[in-house]
Amino acid sequence: MPRDLSQTATEPAATTARRRIVFRKRRLRVGDVNVVDRSMLRRAIGGTIVGNTMEWFDVGVFGYLITTMGPVFLPEADSSVQTLFLLGTFAATFVARPAGGVVFGWLGDKIGRQRVLAATLIMMAASTFALGLLPGYAQLGLGAAVLLVAVKLVQGFSTGGEYAGATTFVSEYAADRRRGFLASFLDMGSYLGFALGAALVSGLQLALGSHAMGEFGWRIPFLVAGPLGATAIYFRLRIEESPAFKAALDAQEHSLHDLAEKDEAAAKGPLGIVRAYWREIVVSMVLVAAANTVGYALTSYMPTYLTESKGYDELNGTLLTIPVLVVMSLCIPLTGRLSDRIGRRPVLWIGAVSTIVLAVPAFALIGVGSVPATLAGLALIAFPVTFYVANLASALPAQFPTASRYGGMGIAYNFAVAIFGGTTPFIVDALIHSTGNDMMPAYYLMGTSAVGAVAVFFLHESAGRPLPGSMPSVETPAEAHAVVARQDHDPLLDLTHMPLAEVPLAVADDGAVVQLPLDHPAAADAAEREGVDLQATALEAQASGEEPVASGPVSASIPVI
């Protein structure tokens, strides 16, 4: 029978302070802190960037070939119908993304980020290459258009797991204080990939001319995806699993900590993740919608807008956006670094507010019709994109714990992109045709960013903090010692969200606390009552060779029987 801690052996019951047993996370040790392996970090960033570059290379190529591919697949239709069909096909890609995000996100949390990311890249490269082999209307009639949609759906399914997995992977590899900077390289690669696709299309248009582009030239950029994809797959297969995921798996295997109620619900699958983290998912979706509405307006729709609404030919409509995209891409790491200094939320607010302020002037400048004015207008649209996308890659994964991070990101990001991002070109083009007002894109961007600005209020600030469900991550052993030394008073450290075992404490009415031995009868009784696995804590202590100490100050003034 466990002895009653409400009395000591030497004091009468009437004069002894009552004590209760509580459990608190053990203290953080130096060995708990992840010290980043710089060579593996470089390999992880490189292996994920190539996949994102590959994805956006295809987005750029397809967006810039819309007016060229229309006659290939629907030669008998009106040019406006051809454009709407290709824009609709582009949007259909995003219809399949949520399914891919759900499936690959769930798999990524179960079997690992690295293996799933390798699979998504293989599917993505293969489907892009297949686009270059498709027959046209002349060979297969309307069946060619059906095949085009089918291949784009496969492509969308695979890309559904790409960005969510890449941001999760890099965020888990990066040191806490540099996560914004390092994760921003993913989007830098994305927009450089888009610019690369646009530059290739422009070069082919110059070299081949419009007739040859319609005959066979449009296939070349997609076929180039074959060797590019093989190179990207090689780099991705060389990276190792993220340390945060390996630590989470190790903790689960040895039962070093009990699952929180939310984690238990999320472990049941995608629906469990939605029920457990619906607030985080809603906030993330709104921010993704706001950012991608502006991003896809600049990248995928702008060539069509310049060609159809502003009188530029196809070549100039493509060329004008390339320098803006390149400069914007190079600036993205700067805003990522800024978010590490002042926080994710302030930088995201800059993105939202600047969209609202600059959208109308941007489209007014584009409407002037001169090349300098158009470039200035495109730059005004690119400015908020730089602040938006550089921070989503680090802010959104930090809203979810390690055990559900890939799945939560896969759901939030892909549903938002499917509803708002990929459909942006189709929606704004339809708005212009239905109203006759060329300023409708500006109003649409302003509306989505106004809602996005509100969502930033509900975003958990994550700059400089460990990811929830993960141990702190630093760059040097000296930093690891410093983190442990300041754990009691560092506002950026919250041990309650770390996978640390709980230890028993006896708390008196006067607030004095003493830690109980793990084999103390009262501790065992309380652990059974509260569902705490003390045996796992004991195994952890045995493995580390030291007794686990509770976090926070502990008094030794209470005698424990």
Residues 434 and 541 in one domain: no
**Is the pLDDT score of 419 beyond 90?**
no
Which band of pLDDT confidence, cut at 50, 70 and 90, is reported for residue 4? very low
Residue 333 confidence (pLDDT): 94
C-alpha angle with apex 41: 37 to 46, nearest 5 degrees? 155
Token pair 């239905």 is at which residue? 434
Q: SS3 breakdown of the chain: % helix, strand, coil, rounded to 5?
A: 75, 5, 25
Report the distance separating Cα 117 and Cα 166, nearest Å. 7
Tally the C-alpha atoms within 13 A of residue 43's C-alpha that lie toward its C-beta: 16
Residues 162 and 240 in one domain: yes
3-state secondary structure of 19: strand
In a domain, 477, yes or no: no
User: Which amino acid is located at 449 in the chain?
Assistant: S
Tally the C-alpha atoms within 13 A of residue 239's C-alpha that lie toward its C-beta: 31
209 φψ region: left (φ > 0), alpha (ψ -120 to 50), beta (else): left
In a domain, 492, yes or no: no
Looking at per-residue confidence, does 180 or 488 come out higher? 180
Strand blocks (E) in 436-530: 473-474, 502-508, 513-515
Which of 267, 404, 287, 405 is closest to 347 using CA atoms? 287
Residue 59 confidence (pLDDT): 76
Report the distance separating Cα 189 and Cα 215, nearest Å. 31
Mean pLDDT, residues 305-313 taken together: 72
C-alpha angle with apex 113: 112 to 116, nearest 5 degrees? 90
Weakest-pLDDT range from 57-71, 238-252, 256-270: 256-270
Residues 41 and 128 in one domain: yes
Residues 398 and 547 in one domain: no
Tally the C-alpha atoms within 13 A of residue 251's C-alpha that lie toward its C-beta: 21
In a domain, 462, yes or no: no
Residues 206 and 100 in one domain: yes
Neighbours of 447 (CB within 10 A): 15
Residue 7 confidence (pLDDT): 38
In a domain, 466, yes or no: no
Residue 487 confidence (pLDDT): 87
Question: H-type helices in 396-476, by residue range?
Answer: 405-416, 424-435, 440-456
Strand 34-35 relative to strand 19-25: parallel, antiparallel, unpaired?
unpaired
Which of 256, 194, 213 is closest to 25 using CA atoms? 256
Mean pLDDT, residues 471-486 taken together: 92
Q: At what angle do helices 79-111 and 142-159 cross, to 10 degrees?
A: 30
Residues 167 and 65 in one domain: yes
pTM summary value: 0.80
Is the distance from CB of 285 to CB of 412 less than 8 angstroms?
yes
Sequence-ordered list of residues with C-beta below 8 angstroms from that of 529, at least 6 positions apart, any chain:
none
- Tokens matching residue 209: 């001319």
Mean pLDDT, residues 481-489 taken together: 89
Residue 1 confidence (pLDDT): 33
Which band of pLDDT confidence, cut at 50, 70 and 90, is reported for residue 268? low
Residues 545 and 451 in one domain: no
Domain boundary among 456, 480, 510: 456
Report the distance separating Cα 275 and Cα 272, nearest Å. 5
**Is the pLDDT score of 453 beyond 50?**
yes
Domain boundary among 456, 488, 518: 456
**What is the percent of the chain with per-residue pLDDT over 90, rounded to a whole number?**
25
Residues 403 and 542 in one domain: no
pLDDT tens-digit profile of 398-411?
999 888 888 999 89
In a domain, 483, yes or no: no
Report the distance separating Cα 428 and Cα 434, nearest Å. 10
Is the distance from CB of 366 to CB of 377 less than 8 angstroms?
yes
Residue 266 confidence (pLDDT): 53
Which band of pLDDT confidence, cut at 50, 70 and 90, is reported for residue 533? low
Question: H-type helices in 238-313, by residue range?
Answer: 243-254, 261-266, 270-276, 278-296, 302-308
Mean pLDDT, residues 500-524 taken together: 73
Using a 10 angstrom Cβ sphere, with 0-12 exposed, 13-18 middle and 19 or more buried, the burial of residue 183 is buried
Neighbours of 262 (CB within 10 A): 17
Residues 13 and 37 in one domain: no
Looking at per-residue confidence, does 506 or 478 come out higher? 478
Which of 472, 460, 349 is closest to 400 using CA atoms? 460
Residues 79 and 226 in one domain: yes
Report the distance separating Cα 453 and Cα 287, nearest Å. 8
Mean pLDDT, residues 439-456 taken together: 92
Which of 419, 356, 390 is closest to 94 using CA atoms? 419
Please state, rounded to an integer, the average pLDDT across all residues of the chain. Answer: 81
**Is the pLDDT score of 119 beyond 50?**
yes
User: What's the Rg (C-alpha) of the chain?
Assistant: 27
Mean pLDDT, residues 316-341 taken together: 88
Which band of pLDDT confidence, cut at 50, 70 and 90, is reported for residue 558? very low
Mean pLDDT, residues 95-120 taken together: 87
Domain that holds residue 427: 31-245+255-456
**Is the pLDDT score of 258 beyond 70?**
no
Residues 17 and 38 in one domain: no
Residue 480 confidence (pLDDT): 93
Residue 349 confidence (pLDDT): 95
- Tokens matching residue 526: 């309380």
Residue 482 confidence (pLDDT): 93
3-state secondary structure of 345: helix
In a domain, 496, yes or no: no
Mean pLDDT, residues 486-500 taken together: 84
Weakest-pLDDT range from 219-223, 374-378, 518-522: 518-522
Weakest-pLDDT range from 59-68, 129-138, 249-258, 286-295: 249-258
Report the distance separating Cα 378 and Cα 322, nearest Å. 10
Which band of pLDDT confidence, cut at 50, 70 and 90, is reported for residue 14? very low
Strand 502-508 relative to strand 513-515: parallel, antiparallel, unpaired?
antiparallel
Q: What is the total residue count of the chain? A: 561
Mean pLDDT, residues 42-54 taken together: 82
Report the distance separating Cα 550 and Cα 561, nearest Å. 19
**Is the pLDDT score of 62 beyond 70?**
yes
Domain count, the chain: 2
- Tokens matching residue 33: 């802190």
pLDDT tens-digit profile of 168-225?
888 888 999 999 999 999 889 888 888 888 888 888 888 888 888 888 899 999 998 8
Residues 426 and 509 in one domain: no
Report the distance separating Cα 408 and Cα 85, nearest Å. 32
In a domain, 474, yes or no: no
